[in-house]
């Protein structure tokens, strides 16, 4: 059976037209008109749209635009192919009949043969399924590319920065850029075409770096379960000394190389033991600290790799911060306040290495590093070890930190990296599920326009998010962040819960919800920063006058250039002196309610206020 015979047989079948053949198919000697074909396409498409709406309401209880679009598009393509080819074959037969009236006017039904039915099934699959699918893929690819081009042009016209070079700005001279220091080079010296293999000498250099900054946290004894809240305490150097001794006695495969050779004197001075072991990394830590003191910092990440960019430096810089925090505690215990002060400032400097890195994870690691720096500063504060000059330096360094601006930078970078990653996925066959198969072949089966649509959805979401972050930064100073964060968190929770599955937004739903709490973490970090600056001013007042002031207003301007308001409600922080010679100082926290300065009412309960911990006050948890 030939293809024209198959198509004419289909056109002549009353079953195909559900008993309505006489309303659809013309007389045997009449030609199909273009209007008839388009009418069939329109009716078929309308029925498919109604079917898609019914399925949407049955499954998701709401119309699913993507299902309506794809099913309607497929129906239109299918009916256009089938009806169009039927019209061509029918009209050819009419022409032959007009030229030779002696030909049979009717369509003779083919004899029932299994081979003919199988051939007819092949014709139907090719014309009724594969060809329309190929047309849908082609249309969707064009649709997705046009949508992405339009989105990119629109965002550029709005002044949004859509390339990593725009975000990073001009190249920083190497002598001003901490990220260009040689000590960091091994983390970025790997072939761009491979994110899993690096040269052996580079791998060894990273191992040496980790050896130098590693602390034996895995060897620390388990903390006993508390029966009641206890005040926060400085680092327990006796536990750290025991951990180092245990590591030296029973090194593990991942222990530093020097663990098998270093010998400690007899126990008795925990600070000496800790400093002796930390000295094994002095040269590397000194290089990191020297670089961190430079005015700018941009690491040479392989930004063109998009999602695959390696970020080994993040975890390793956190190890450096923990190393420095332990050094500070040991130096304080040894009576070496100047060395401890250098350690404390270096923790903040290392955390701020990520201030110009336009990635959300980098900014979150920066905030976590700021908490470590605050804890390091706190160790000297509760022991009254810092001098007025040192406290003034801390205040100056803390005043340069802006976590909200960093969060905006991070989301701008996330938008660029998501676009770059998807561009790379579409342009590099090795990134596709079937390695080595070109896009020109895969495009027959996979509508890459769907990836473009996801690219559009992600870019639009990040842009909307950035608009809100910028407004939050402005409005938060007037009303406080707490009410704004609550409204946004509630709205986003509902948004993600109610967002139905869609191939146009599947990547958005996979990648973005983890970012919902990011601005809340920035608000907490900035609040912690303000509290640290106020406590430095309180300690300077105590050094000058022998006691803490009655109110925070007494700190201005001698010890604090201007009043610092609680970022969560845009009102003064809660403060009063206590009879034990300390004070109570706290923010109302994320809920914006004053709960009397209690961090948690019960273990593992919700966080209430954000109090500054003092050694005479017990609480269920701590701000940092």
435, pLDDT greater than 60: no
Residue indicated by tokens 């990394």: 281
Establish whether the linkage from the previous residue to 145 is cis, with ω within 30° of 0: no
Cβ–Cβ < 8 Å for 528, 517: no
| DSSP letter assigned to residue 613 | P
Query: What pLDDT sits at residue 219?
Result: 94
Dist. CA 559–CA 538, nearest whole Å: 8
153, pLDDT greater than 90: yes
Cβ–Cβ < 8 Å for 137, 445: yes
pLDDT tens digits, residue range 563-602? 999 999 999 999 999 999 999 999 999 999 999 999 998 8
Q: Tell me the pTM.
A: 0.87
Q: How confident is the model at residue 189 (pLDDT cuts 50, 70, 90)?
A: confident
Query: Parallel, antiparallel, or unpaired for β 571-572 and 565-566?
Result: antiparallel
- 427 versus 548: the higher-pLDDT residue is 548
What's the mean pLDDT in 171-188? Answer: 95
Give strand pairing partners of 565. Answer: 572
What tokens appear for 66 in the block? 């993507």
The CA-based diameter of the chain, rounded to the nearest angstrom, is 122
Cβ–Cβ < 8 Å for 410, 358: yes
CA neighbours closer than 13 Å in the CB half-sphere of residue 123:
19
In Å, what is the CA distance from 178 to each residue of 71, 188, 520? 55, 14, 29
Q: What ranges do the domains of the chain cover? A: 3-157, 164-220+232-351+363-386
User: Per mean pLDDT, which range of 117-131, 371-385, 452-466 is the poorest?
Assistant: 117-131
pLDDT tens digits, residue range 24-50? 888 888 899 999 999 999 999 999 999
Q: How confident is the model at residue 184 (pLDDT cuts 50, 70, 90)?
A: very high
Query: What pLDDT sits at residue 581?
Result: 93
516, pLDDT greater than 80: no
3-state SS, residue 64: coil
Give strand pairing partners of 576. Answer: 584
Query: What pLDDT sits at residue 434?
Result: 44
What's the mean pLDDT in 488-502? Answer: 79
Q: Identify the burial level of 217 via C-beta atoms within 10 angstroms of its C-beta, where 0-12 means exposed, 13-18 middle and 19 or more buried.
A: exposed
Please name the residues in contact with 331: beta carbons below 8 A apart, sequence gap of 6 or more. Answer: 271, 275, 337, 339, 340, 343
What's the mean pLDDT in 614-624? Answer: 92
Backbone angles phi, psi at 7, to 5 degrees: -65, -40
Query: What pLDDT sits at residue 37?
Result: 93
109, pLDDT greater than 50: yes
C-alpha 105 chain-centroid distance? 69
Backbone angles phi, psi at 290, to 5 degrees: -65, -40
In Å, what is the CA distance from 253 to each residue of 211, 244, 259, 604? 12, 15, 10, 35
pLDDT tens digits, residue range 361-378? 999 999 999 999 999 999
The alpha helices in 499-605, defined as continuous H runs, are 506-511, 518-545
Cβ–Cβ < 8 Å for 167, 416: yes
Q: What percent of the chain has a predicted confidence (pLDDT) above 90? A: 67
Residue indicated by tokens 């979150």: 364
Give strand pairing partners of 583. Answer: 577
User: Following DSSP, what letter does each residue of 67-111 receive, concatenated?
Assistant: HHHHHHHHHHHHHHHHHHHHHHHHHHHHHHHHH-TTS-SS-PPPP
Query: What pLDDT sits at residue 114?
Result: 67
315, pLDDT greater than 70: yes
């Amino acid at each position: 059976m030939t293809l024209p015979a198959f198509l004419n047989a289909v056109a002549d079948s009353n079953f195909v037209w559900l008993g309505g053949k006489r309303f659809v198919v013309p007389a045997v000697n009449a030609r199909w008109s273009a209007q008839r074909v388009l009418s069939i396409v329109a009716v078929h498409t309308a029925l498919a749209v109604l079917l898609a709406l019914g399925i949407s309401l049955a499954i998701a209880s709401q119309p699913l635009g993507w299902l309506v679009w794809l099913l309607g598009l497929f129906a239109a393509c299918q009916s256009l192919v089938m009806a169009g080819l039927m019209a061509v074959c029918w009209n050819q037969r009419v022409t032959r009949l007009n030229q030779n009236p002696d030909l049979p006017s009717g369509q003779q039904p083919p004899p029932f043969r299994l081979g003919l039915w199988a051939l007819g099934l092949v014709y139907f699959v090719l014309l009724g399924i594969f060809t329309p699918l190929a047309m849908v893929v082609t249309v969707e690819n064009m649709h997705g590319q046009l949508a992405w081009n339009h989105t990119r042009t629109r965002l550029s016209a709005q002044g949004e920065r859509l390339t990593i070079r725009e975000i990073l700005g001009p190249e920083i001279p190497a002598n001003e850029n901490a990220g260009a220091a040689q000590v960091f080079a091994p983390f970025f010296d790997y072939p761009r075409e491979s994110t899993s293999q690096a040269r052996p000498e580079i791998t060894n250099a990273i191992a040496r770096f980790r050896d130098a900054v590693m602390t034996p946290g895995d060897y620390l004894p388990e903390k006993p379960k508390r029966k009641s809240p206890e005040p926060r305490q400085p680092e327990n150097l006796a536990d750290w000394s025991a951990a180092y001794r245990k590591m030296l006695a029973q090194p593990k495969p991942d222990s530093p190389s020097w663990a098998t050779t270093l010998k400690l004197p007899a126990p008795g001075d925990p600070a000496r033991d800790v400093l002796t072991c930390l000295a094994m990394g002095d040269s590397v830590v000194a290089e990191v600290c020297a670089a961190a003191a430079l005015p700018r910092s941009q690491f040479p990440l392989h930004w063109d790799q998009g999602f695959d960019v390696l970020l080994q430096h993040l975890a390793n810089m956190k190890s450096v911060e923990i190393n420095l925090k332990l050094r500070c505690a040991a130096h304080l215990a040894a009576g070496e306040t100047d060395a401890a002060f250098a350690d404390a400032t270096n923790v903040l400097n290392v955390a701020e290495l990520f201030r110009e890195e336009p990635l959300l994870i980098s900014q979150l690691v920066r905030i976590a590093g700021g908490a470590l720096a605050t804890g390091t500063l706190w160790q000297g504060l509760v022991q009254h070890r810092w001098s007025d000059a040192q406290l003034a330096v801390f205040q100056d360094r803390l005043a340069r930190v802006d976590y909200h601006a960093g969060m905006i930078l991070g989301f701008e970078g996330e938008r660029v990296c998501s676009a770059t990653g998807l561009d790379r996925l579409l342009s590099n066959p090795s990134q596709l599920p079937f390695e080595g198969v070109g896009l020109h072949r895969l495009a027959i089966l996979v509508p890459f326009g769907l990836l473009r649509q996801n690219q559009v959805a992600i870019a639009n979401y990040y842009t909307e998010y950035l608009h809100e972050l910028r407004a939050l930064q402005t409005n938060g100073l007037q009303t406080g962040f707490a009410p704004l964060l609550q409204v946004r968190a509630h709205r986003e929770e509902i948004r993600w819960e109610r967002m139905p599955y869609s191939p146009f937004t599947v990547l958005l739903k996979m990648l973005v919800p983890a970012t919902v709490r990011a601005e809340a973490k920035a608000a907490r970090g900035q609040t912690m920063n303000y509290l640290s600056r106020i406590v430095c001013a309180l300690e300077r007042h105590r050094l000058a006058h022998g006691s803490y002031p009655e109110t925070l207003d007494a700190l201005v301007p001698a010890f604090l250039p201007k009043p610092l308001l609680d970022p969560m409600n845009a009102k003064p922080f809660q403060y009063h002196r206590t009879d034990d010679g300390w004070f109570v100082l706290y923010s109302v926290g994320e809920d914006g309610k004053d709960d009397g300065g209690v961090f948690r009412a019960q273990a593992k309960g919700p966080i209430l206020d954000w109090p500054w911990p003092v050694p005479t006050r017990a609480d269920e948890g701590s701000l940092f």
